[in-house]
Structures are given as structure tokens and as C-alpha cells.
Amino acid sequence: MKKSWPSLLAFVLILLVWHFIVSSGLIPSFLLPAPGQVFHSFSEMPEDFAMAFQSTLKSTLWGFFLSSILGFSLALLFSSSDFLKRAFLPFAVFFQTVPIVAIAPLLVIWFGFGESTVRASALIVSIFPVLANSLVGLSNFDAGLKELLNSYGASHRQILLKLQIPSSLPAVFSGLQVAAGLAVIGALVGEFVAGGGLGGLIDSARTQQRVDIVFAALFLSSVLGLGLTGLVRGAAQMILRWRPFFSKDLF
């Protein structure tokens, strides 16, 4: 609580300034609704928000979970074979450099309207940070410790399990933290083109000029991102309580 009170204070301040700007008429409410108006829209259609939130949460978790598993597995594969790394890493970089809004229409063609496209979008956006960070982590280990293990005749597998993977954990968790936020963005972009979830709600509210609903959905999506990032940080802290794989200042 001690650590989060400055951001809570800032949040209250922003709400107050925001309220003042709208109530004084500096910006018309059809462009920027007052905070009260945004929170009112929740009570106006709670079920729609709950369903949209649930749908985006499901797709985000699905995309994030798969990108974590796939990203780390690919990093393991690439770190064990320079050939595979050189052959396939450029494709991963391709997905990173092409904006997801450009790929999303293609996903609709491939997977159709619905959850599959949203999940694929969340996966594509969030996999690269996991892959890139894990790859860096797996190759950045203490050469002295590797020499020690070699002096006892350790196999490649033992070096991977006893040194490379534990040493990579700080980088892996940094990647997961970034991926958690990106998975939400990926899911929302997917929903813009494939429908459903908070993205779909934002899109339909936009056509009805309901800026308050757009803001409410944006608020929920940021809650989702913060929650997921917090979950990763919590997992890192749990691991740290078990064993000092990395400095506690990192997370």
C-alpha cells in the first residue's frame, strides 16, 4: 500500500482536474465526458460491461498464456541451435515490426469473426517480448559458473537446467511483464476487427457517439492490463521468496 499511494493520489488528482475541465465547459462533454458520467455508464449497462470484460479477459489470458509457453519454448530451441535461431528469428522480428492493426484484417480472413482471431492477435503481439527477453536471458549467464559445471563434467542438458534457465528468470519475467500489457492491446485490436469483448464494445459505442462508454471500456481494459502485469509481478515475488534467482529490486 505504501508503494502505491503516490499513484492513487495522482489518480484522484487527475479525476479532479478532469472533472473541473468538463464541468467548467473548457471541453464539451460529448468529446470528453465527466468522470461521473463514465462511472454512471457502468451502472447503466452492467451486464454488457461484465460480459465484454469477461470475453476480453479470457482472450487476453489465453493469448498471454500461449505466448509465454511458446515464446519461452522457442527461446530454448533457438539458444540450443544457432542454425534454427538464424533461420527463424527473423520471422519473429517480422511479427514485431509489422503493426498488429495491419495484420489483424488478415487474421479475420484466416480465423473468421470471433474469439480465434482475438486470441491469435493477443498471441502475436505478446510473443516477441517473451521470446526476445528469454533468448537474452538464456545466453547471459556467468561464464565462470559454466566453467565450474564443465569441470564436474556437466552435460548440455544439465547446464541448461542448472544454470541457463535459472539465470534467465529475471529477463524472462521482464519479458512476461511487457507481454502482459501487450496481450491486452492485442486482444482489443483483434476485437476491433473480429467483434466481441471490450474492443467490440468500444467500436459499437463509437458509432453511437457514446464517448462515456468508450471511456468506461478503456478504463476496464487498463484495469485488465494492470491486473495481469501485477499478477506477473506477484509470481516473480513468490519465486523470489522461494529462492534468490534475481535481485528483489527488479520486481
Partner 1 sequence: MALIHAENLGKVFESRRNRETTVFKNFNLQLEPREFVTLLGPSGCGKSTLLRILGGLEKASEGSLERKFQSGSFVFQEPRLLPWKTCLENVLLPLEIKNSKVSQADHGKAKELLKLMKLEKFESHFPAELSGGMKMRNALARSLILNPDFLLLDEPFSALDETTRLFLQVEIRNLFETKPWTFCFVTHSIEEACFLSSRILIFSKDRNQLIEHKSNLPNKRKESLRDELAFFEEVKKVRHLFQTEALS
Positions that interact with partner 1 (CB under 8 A): 142, 144-145, 147-154, 158, 162-163, 166, 243-245
Terminal Cα distance for the chain, rounded: 15
Decide whether 223 or 235 has the Cβ nearer to partner 1: 235
Instruction: Tell me how far, at minimum, the Cβ of 246 lies from partner 1, in Å.
Output: 9
Instruction: Tell me how far, at minimum, the Cβ of 4 lies from partner 1, in Å.
Output: 27
Which residue is it, cell 465547459? Answer: 25
Helix segments in the chain, DSSP class H: 5-23, 35-44, 46-80, 82-97, 100-111, 115-139, 143-151, 156-159, 165-194, 197-207, 211-242
Tally the C-alpha atoms within 13 A of residue 100's C-alpha that lie toward its C-beta.
Answer: 24
Decide whether 3 or 157 has the Cβ nearer to partner 1: 157
Instruction: Tell me how far, at minimum, the Cβ of 151 lies from partner 1, in Å.
Output: 5
Decide whether 82 or 147 has the Cβ nearer to partner 1: 147
Instruction: Tell me how far, at minimum, the Cβ of 144 lies from partner 1, in Å.
Output: 5
Task: Please tell me the distance from the alpha carbon of residue 10 to that of residue 16, in angstroms, as a whole number.
Answer: 10
Decide whether 12 or 161 has the Cβ nearer to partner 1: 161
Instruction: Give 202: exposed, middle or buried? Use CB within 10 Å, 0-12, 13-18, 19+.
Output: buried
Instruction: Tell me how far, at minimum, the Cβ of 251 lies from partner 1, in Å.
Output: 15
Instruction: Tell me how far, at minimum, the Cβ of 152 lies from partner 1, in Å.
Output: 5
Task: Tally Cβ neighbours within 10 Å of residue 156.
Answer: 9
Task: Please tell me the distance from the alpha carbon of residue 207 to that of residue 83, in angstroms, as a whole number.
Answer: 50
Which residue is it, cell 548440455? Answer: 156
Instruction: Tell me how far, at minimum, the Cβ of 153 lies from partner 1, in Å.
Output: 7
Decide whether 55 or 168 has the Cβ nearer to partner 1: 168
Decide whether 52 or 163 has the Cβ nearer to partner 1: 163
Residue 150 phi/psi, 5-degree rounding, is -60, -35
Decide whether 104 or 163 has the Cβ nearer to partner 1: 163
Task: Please tell me the distance from the alpha carbon of residue 79 to that of residue 98, in angstroms, as a whole number.
Answer: 24
